[in-house]
Amino acid sequence: KALNYVRDGMVIGLGTGSTAKYFVQLLSEKIVEERLRIRAVPTSVKTLAQAKGLGIPLSNLNVEARLDLVIDGADEADSQFNLIKGGGGALLQEKIVASASRKMVVISDRSKKVESLGKFPLPMEIVKFGADFTRYQIKDILSELGYNDVRLAWRTNNELKFNTDENHYILDAYLGRISDPKILQKELLSCPGLVETGLFINLAKIIIWGSEDGSTEILEAV
């Protein structure tokens, strides 16, 4: 379904994660079959390697002034087009690419459709310098917003802190339910050591939810 939005001559952002991986594979096949002139901007080193291996022509945001489309997955999505992303640790680059795109199409399985965000832990990309102090500041901000007794956990990889492509840490906040994503995003970004959060607000234009039986539900912004 997401491939239907791809047109000849487009510059396309390629998302990161288990769902986006399938799209990248199918896109490479479509490019060959239809002889499309496509340039792609990956959102992570992992996606770049996959796209390169499949022969997809690559570009970057230092060359492209604007992207026509970005296709990416989501860890959670609600009917107001609010998302939580970053389960794969690429939220910063994903958000930069999404912000540079005219249209963001989200592909996700129906289990990730929620009434309100927050069951999935909210990832935050944190500068290494003073990281523990930044964590304390974030806890205070969350407490002031009414998120009390919140568990904040550093993302790990083989018992070491996970490093993003930009050489930052990921701090996961187990919030349970996010009452107002816009306010939460604004207040968290006031913390100097926090680079970006996994809250994607006012970015997605189309959400495609898929089910195991092959049926899809498409939500499109007016």
Catalytic residues: 94
Element (H, E) at 181: helix 181-188
Two tokens, residue 45 = 């080193």
Give the C-alpha separation, 144 to 162, whole Å: 28
Coil, helix or strand for 9?
coil
Which residues face 58 on adjacent strands?
40
Beta strand 83-84 with 199-200: parallel, antiparallel or unpaired? Answer: antiparallel
Segment (H or E) for 97: helix 91-99
Integer distance in angstroms from the first to the last C-alpha of the chain?
Answer: 19
Comparing CA positions, the residue from 197, 8, 27, 194 lying closest to residue 107 is 27
Counts for the chain of helices (H) and strands (E), in that order: 5, 15
Residues forming a β-bridge with 157 = 160
**How far is Cα 159 from Cα 214, in angstroms, rounded to an integer?**
38
Q: Give the orientation angle of helix 181-188 with respect to helix 131-144, to 10 degrees.
A: 140
